[in-house]
Amino acid sequence: MNFLRRKIFKIFGYYSLALLLPIKFLYASSKKIVNRNLSEEQKEIMFNEGTERAFTSSLLSEKRKGTYHCANCGALLFDSTAKYDSGTGWPSFTEAVPGAFNTKVDYSFGMKRIEYHCANCGAHHGHVFADGPGKTGKRFCNNGLCLIFKPSQ
Ligand SMILES: [Zn+2]
């Protein structure tokens, strides 16, 4: 049974990869690495749609006032007033700075999710869901490694 499941996954995995490759290629042209000091893990998340392991971000416990910026290009993305503890293991926000992100529909892992990218440099940051607690009703689920926190003075 397990073998069969693995086989099905393998076949579908390859198919979706083949379908996604041309899209990925087109998409990649709009992305640019600005920060040459990004770690391999940061590059994997930001430019290969990776995801950091849950509950690993040091920003989860960040409660100071300040602003969150793109770790690649430095663009302003979130204000600390929008941050909340969603319990998911990733830094979460109820709203982003207007115009900070572009979104696209992501069908990976058999789910339909809204993926968002830095509007300035194209780096992938996370997914936005419609179950947020604020008046926007949104939950921006952001990889902590993609963010730089700047505490207000
Ligand atoms: Zn950026």
The larger pLDDT score, comparing residue 85 to residue 17, is at 85
> Which residues touch 119 (CB under 8 Å, ≥6 apart)?
75, 99, 100, 101, 102
CA gyration radius for the chain?
Answer: 16
Coil, helix or strand at residue 79: strand
Place of tokens 């696209």: 104
At residue 153, the pLDDT reads 80
Is 141 known to be catalytic?
yes
β-strands 92-93, 83-84 pairing: antiparallel
Residues in the 5 Å CB sphere of ion ligand 1: 70, 72-73, 75, 118, 120-121, 123
Tell me: the pLDDT tens digits for 16-55?
Answer: 555 555 555 455 446 889 999 999 999 999 999 999 999 9
Question: What is the pTM assigned to this prediction?
Answer: 0.79
Query: Does 11 score more than 70 pLDDT?
Result: no
Return the domain boundaries, the chain: 31-151
Per DSSP, 55 falls in state T
Instruction: Quickly state the pLDDT bin for 62 (edges 50, 70, 90).
Output: very high
Q: Check if CATH label 3.90.79.10 holds for domain 31-151.
A: no
Q: In terms of C-beta density within 10 A (0-12 exposed, 13-18 middle, 19 or more buried), how is residue 99 classed?
A: exposed
At residue 31, the pLDDT reads 81
CA of 144 to the centre of ligand 1 (A): 14
Tell me: the pLDDT tens digits for 93-133?
Answer: 999 999 999 999 999 889 999 999 999 999 999 999 999 99
At residue 10, the pLDDT reads 67
CB 147 within 8 A of CB 59: yes
Task: Please pick, among 70, 118, 141, 146, the residue that the annotation labels catalytic.
Answer: 141
Which stretches of 3-97 are assigned E, i.e. beta strand?
A: 66-70, 76-79, 83-84, 92-93
